[in-house]
Amino acid sequence: MKNIVVVGGGTMGNGIAHTAAASGFDVTLVEVGQDLLDRAMTTISANLQRGVDKGKMSADEKQGVLKRIRPTTDVQSIKDADIVIEAIVENLGVKIQLFKQLDEITAPKTILASNTSSISITKMAAATKRPDKVIGMHFMNPVPVMALVEVIRALQTSDAAFETTMELARKLGKTPVAVNDAPGFVSNRVLMPLINEAAYAVMEGVATPEAVDTVMKLGMNHPMGPLELADFIGLDVCVDIMAVLVDGLGDPKYRACPLLKKYVSAGWLGRKNGRGFYRYGEGK
């Protein structure tokens, strides 16, 4: 496992590329446009600079990490990848379209992994001619900092692909946890109902967002309150994940709180655009 390809240069994709390059791997980072690639590389450089400023790496080491990342808009150039990690929009149809394309481009030996936080790996695997080599690698945000990777086996995933992916996660400095394919896996199946109930507590006037988060931080020793975390994840992403849970499990307890849906309708998505349960930036 030498050549890692990351498709998607957003928050998760650039974090995965950063982490892999910092672990000594050659990384190809693929995006659909040069402006998106430039933005991703700028973010990686800025995040690495924080390590330099804190004395965790030298300026030369930072440059070494950046040189191991090859940014490109040419998806056809990735045919020699050992593994492709997809980190694009959380939409099954779009992911399946990409996996079909990757299946045609890459060598038969290449493992195709998805960083999806909730969507069925089994469905993605079924769309390819190599279902035994399709797997989930659900990294946590921010990727360079968080230790966990959920490694999700599709129904079709071979033992060899699973073991290779587990070992890769370890080489990336992460702790892999094996999870079978089910809606939301473990992380979001447990987390999203917590966020949802916190939103209901606010909607019903039980407490303010600040109070709800303080209770969970001081009373339950959570490092971040559930509503702070929802803002960090993106309220639109939370609503989308809960829709996957409802659809996949058929249990109405996973339906998104009306207040969450209202905030998304208003364009209040959290940190990424300045307002969610809290205000960020100049509008704070």
The angle formed by the CA atoms of residues 128, 134 and 140, to the nearest 5 degrees, is: 130
| Residue 117 buriedness (CB in 10 A; 0-12 / 13-18 / 19+) | buried
Task: Indicate which residue of 117, 118, 120, 196 is catalytic.
Answer: 117
Task: Indicate which residue of 47, 118, 188, 196 is catalytic.
Answer: 188
- How far apart are the C-alpha atoms of 131 and 169, rounded to whole Å? 20
- How far apart are the C-alpha atoms of 270 and 184, rounded to whole Å? 21
Q: Does the active-site annotation cover 188? A: yes
Strand partners, 275: 270, 279
Task: Indicate which residue of 114, 150, 196, 228 is catalytic.
Answer: 150
User: What residues contact 267, with CB distance under 8 A and at least 6 apart?
Assistant: 273
Report the relative pairing of strands 83-86 and 3-7 from DSSP bridges: parallel
- How far apart are the C-alpha atoms of 54 and 198, rounded to whole Å? 35
Task: Indicate which residue of 14, 47, 115, 138 is catalytic.
Answer: 138
Question: Ramachandran region of residue 109, left (φ > 0), alpha (ψ -120 to 50) or beta?
Answer: alpha
Q: Which of 138, 147, 217 is nearest to 179 (CA)?
A: 138
Radius of gyration of the chain (CA): 19
Q: Does the active-site annotation cover 265? A: no
For residue 176, is the peptide bond before it cis, meaning its omega torsion is within 30 degrees of 0?
no
Q: Does the active-site annotation cover 150? A: yes
Q: Does the active-site annotation cover 120? A: no
Could you identify the residue written with the tokens 């060899």? 160
Q: Which residues are catalytic?
A: 117, 138, 150, 188
